[in-house]
């Protein structure tokens, strides 16, 4: 798709880049280097506010011409917010907590231009984790490997992680960390994509 403004993704997430590229969008990548832990420590609002706040901080930390996309995602299960696991032991413990329960992925995405936020959006997806066995969990962790440490939920839904779930309710792209359809509309609204 032809862009009328330069577009930069303020993220080192390979899956977010793949989602944008899959939609035929040309963009540069400029990871923000934002200290997410520090921002989470001072946040006092809800999960959606945190996701949007993190996305906004990332986009505003990048100095680039045109529009800058910032995106982030938080996971909430039974009122508790989860971070990316530090190691495989924590990933295993988290997956055992999610087993047989519903958790929510709340994704935030913003567009920043000239240092100002021109659009912000959040989207919530509900995911029901099946009541898998410990033997399945062991096999999953061994096969998936440390790549799951890059995901707040300890899975990549587009791959082996799909075996963890009974159902999901919401936008598939949002589960991948980038609410693509609202973002594409925002790019059209801001004159970056043809209407």
CATH of the domain at 132: 3.90.950.10
| Catalytic residue, candidates 72, 131, 169, 171 | 72
How much is the pLDDT for 5? 82
The predicted structure's pLDDT at residue 9: 96
Crossing angle of the two packed helices 134-144 and 88-98, in degrees rounded to 10 = 140
Whether residue 72 lies in the annotated active site: yes
**CA-CA distance, 183 to 7, in Å (whole number)?**
12
Residues in the chain predicted with pLDDT less than 70, given as ranges, are: 1-2
Range of the domain at 118: 7-189
Tokens of 1: 């798709």
Q: How many CA atoms lie within 13 A of 119 on its CB side?
A: 19
pLDDT of residue 41: 82
pLDDT at position 174 is 93
Look at residue 167 and tell me if it is in a domain: yes
- Decide if 131 is inside a domain: yes
pLDDT for position 55 = 94
Look at residue 31 in the predicted model and tell me its pLDDT.
Answer: 87
So what's the pLDDT on residue 183? 96
Give me the number of domains the chain comprises. Answer: 1
pTM of the model: 0.90
């Amino acid at each position: 798709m032809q862009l009328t403004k330069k577009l930069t993704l303020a993220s080192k997430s390979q899956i977010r880049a793949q989602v944008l590229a899959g939609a035929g969008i040309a963009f540069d990548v400029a990871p923000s280097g934002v200290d997410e832990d520090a921002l989470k420590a001072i946040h006092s609002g809800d999960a959606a506010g945190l996701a949007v706040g993190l996305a906004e901080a990332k986009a505003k930390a990048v100095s680039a011409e045109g529009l800058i996309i910032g995106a982030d995602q938080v996971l909430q299960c039974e009122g508790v917010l989860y971070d990316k696991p530090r190691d495989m032991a924590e990933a295993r413990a988290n997956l055992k907590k999610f087993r047989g329960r519903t958790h929510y992925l709340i994704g935030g995405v913003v567009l920043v231009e000239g240092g100002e936020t021109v659009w912000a959006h959040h989207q919530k997806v509900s995911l029901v984790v099946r009541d898998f066995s410990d033997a399945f969990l062991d096999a999953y962790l061994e096969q998936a490997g440390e790549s799951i440490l890059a995901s707040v939920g300890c899975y990549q839904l587009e791959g082996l992680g799909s075996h963890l779930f009974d159902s999901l309710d919401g936008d598939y792209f949002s589960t991948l960390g980038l609410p693509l359809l609202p973002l594409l509309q925002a790019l059209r609204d801001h004159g970056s994509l043809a209407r």
